Amino acid sequence: MSGLKELTFINRIEKLIPNTILEAIPSLIQICVLFIAFFAFNLWYKALTEISPNNFNEVVLSVSPTQFFEGSLWLLVPVILILILMLWRRELISVNWKTIEGGNKLRLIVGICVIALSWAHISYPFNYFLLENTWLERTTVLILTLFVFWRPFFLILYVLFPILVHFGEPLMVNHWSIAELPMRVLILFSAQLIVWLLFPKLKWKIGVFVFVLLMVLAGNYFPAGFGKIRMGWLTDNHIYLLLSNMYADGWVIFLSQDTLSEITHFLSKYNLFLKLGCLVMEFGCILILVRKNWSVKFFLLGFLLFHTLVFVLTGILFWPWIALEITLLAILWKRGVFSSKINSFSIWHILLSICLIFISSKWLRPSVYVWHDSPLNYTYYFEVEDVAGNTSNLPINSFWPKYYELAWTNGFHFLNQNPTLNIIWGVSFDGNEVKELLTYKDDEQILAFEKENGEIRYNVRLTKEFKRYMNEFINEKKYELTLSKWFKALGAPPQRIVFPTTNTYNGKHDIVKVNVYQKLTFFDGENYRKIRQQKVLTIDIDK
């Protein structure tokens, strides 16, 4: 009798719950399992492979595995547990891609991420900061890449490899966020493989993976869009200034200043339209599943247009992201298992997706770049004098892979004893400062504003360290800027394209002196011009 009452009670509860929820519950539970696995894996992975942003304030960054893991060996315990799990379920790890639902298409998605990251790591130039070519690491990455295409479970070893050797650059600890999306896709599928090892009954079905994949995709864009809205970016920012600011740092340098001024002025007429387009993609992607396949394809196309705009204005090329999104778009366009999985998502999946994307800054922790574009910009360049008395420019790739951290973190202001505004690469976080600068037309007004509001950001310790580094760099390294033709042909596309300046140093004569110059440029709404160029530091090279 009591059993009958319990059954009646359960039936009543079931009647109160919509059938759509009951049907979706198994899938939602599996999503939660994979989501938790990915969250833990991603958090742990970042803790082990990402170097603290505070360390980027140092001139030279070199942390050996012994130094890195000192006092944190417990963080390696998950590596041991994962390897034990793989041995325990060794009958599963020999599975091929075709056994998995949608295996060939899945291999294409994972493969494009692996190829992008491996290509960048295998073909990057000699690391002048660490004085090494890392041929063993390059070869190992290549071998692991081939194994991943053969058997999916080798991806776990591929993902664990940076942890075990901690080579960092550029596979995971990339100097920009360009590797974040493809790396997170690989971490996600690795988490899915681990879930299949733990729960064999769930194995080889990819519906849950497809859902979380779209959350990871949108979660890499949404926080930036949300941040822009919070700071009033739509009404206050001037996105067209990106072009003139990056021109000062070497982008589209083949254009004359007059031509650049005309193009920038033309773009200023469409400032609101450009900003709306960015926000529709970055903020609007919270609705990526609202119309299922249609909305996913819409945002994938939008992301591609977004990256095209970024490239045109800045020379920054998110090519691994572009390659992944083109792959996803092609797979969805042909229809098949991926399309059917997306179309099968219920209203409860859509509501869950909105919630997860909204809080993606917390669980995904992507890099978020939100700022005001300034009409004023500081750039620094380096001139060398050799023993023959010749002067030439030292190209920015001399500082690879550290250049971007140096330029982004402090813009080399730490070498300058003169007051400067807190503007780096044309980026300001002070909206009122930018509003004031936008009203100026004369050089005298700009210089007076800098004098009144600027601060001396000179750092004695960092300058001393930089001088030491430059001496070691020039005296102790075999300086070779010219790469062989085959290496250039096979090398991965650069993350940021900067056209070479004329008269670059070729390494034929020894350097005796390095001069650091600061260039101050401004776009007044109609004309781009250089206001000031001054030497801020001279470094004598000790022999």
Q: Which amino acid is at 200?
A: P
Q: How many residues does the chain have?
A: 543
Q: What is the pLDDT of residue 481?
A: 44
Q: Which amino acid is at 122?
A: I
- CA 239 to centroid of chain Cα atoms: 20
- Of the ranges 59-63, 121-125, 271-275, 380-384, which one carries the lowest mean pLDDT score? 59-63
Beta strands in 434-527 (DSSP E): 455-456, 511-523
Angle at which helices 271-282 and 222-230 cross, to 10°: 130
pLDDT in tens, 399-426: 655 544 455 445 788 889 999 998 987 8
Given a contact cutoff of 8 angstroms between Cβ atoms, the answer to whether 498 and 252 are in contact is: no
Q: What is the pTM of this model?
A: 0.89
Q: Where are the alpha helices (DSSP H) in 369-430?
A: 403-409
pLDDT in tens, 185-213: 999 999 999 999 999 888 899 999 999 99
- Of the ranges 60-74, 296-310, 369-383, which one carries the lowest mean pLDDT score? 60-74
523: closest CA among 233, 262, 250, 232?
262
Given a contact cutoff of 8 angstroms between Cβ atoms, the answer to whether 514 and 394 are in contact is: yes
Phi first, then psi: give them for residue 506, nearest 5 degrees.
-105, 0
Say what percent of the chain tops pLDDT 90: 53
Residue 173 confidence class, pLDDT cut points 50, 70, 90: very low
- Average pLDDT of the segment spanning 250-270: 94
CA distance 301 to 298: 5
242: closest CA among 273, 268, 277?
268
Neighbours of 41 (CB within 10 A): 19
SS3 527: coil
- 10-16-18-22 Cα dihedral, nearest 10 degrees: -20
Beta partners for residue 542, in sequence order: none
Q: Where are the alpha helices (DSSP H) in 359-402?
A: 360-363
Q: Which range, 48-57, 126-135, 375-384, has the best average confidence (pLDDT)? A: 375-384
Average pLDDT of the residues of the chain:
84
SS3 239: coil
Q: Which residues contact 49 (CB under 8 A, 6 or more apart)?
A: 162, 163, 166, 168, 172, 173
Q: Which residue in this structure is represented by tokens 């049907």?
A: 23
Q: Which amino acid is at 532?
A: R
- 237-242-248-250 Cα dihedral, nearest 10 degrees: 160
CA distance 215 to 373: 29
Q: What is the pLDDT of residue 404?
A: 46
- Of the ranges 125-139, 230-244, 248-262, 316-330, which one carries the lowest mean pLDDT score? 125-139
* CA distance readout (Å), 353 to 110, 359, 378, 417: 22, 10, 42, 51
| Residue 538, pLDDT above cutoff 90 | yes
Q: What is the pLDDT of residue 108?
A: 97
Beta partners for residue 534, in sequence order: 518
SS3 136: helix
The encoded tokens of residue 151 equal 């058997």
The encoded tokens of residue 129 equal 């900061």
Q: Which residue in this structure is represented by tokens 């800027």?
A: 481
| Residue 445, pLDDT above cutoff 90 | yes
CA distance 330 to 317: 21
Neighbours of 523 (CB within 10 A): 28
Given a contact cutoff of 8 angstroms between Cβ atoms, the answer to whether 119 and 492 are in contact is: yes
Given a contact cutoff of 8 angstroms between Cβ atoms, the answer to whether 462 and 414 are in contact is: yes
Q: Which residue in this structure is represented by tokens 């951290």?
A: 405
277: closest CA among 241, 228, 322?
228
Q: Is the peptide bond before 401 cis (omega within 30 degrees of 0)?
A: yes
Q: What is the DSSP letter of 532?
A: E
Q: What is the pLDDT of residue 336?
A: 87
DSSP string, 167-230: --TTTTS-SSGGGHHHHHHHHHHHHHHHHHHH-GGGTT--HHHHHHHHHHHHHTTHHHHHHHHH
* Cα end-to-end distance, the chain, whole Å: 97
CA distance 211 to 452: 53
Q: Is 134 left (phi over 0), alpha (psi -120 to 50) or beta?
A: left
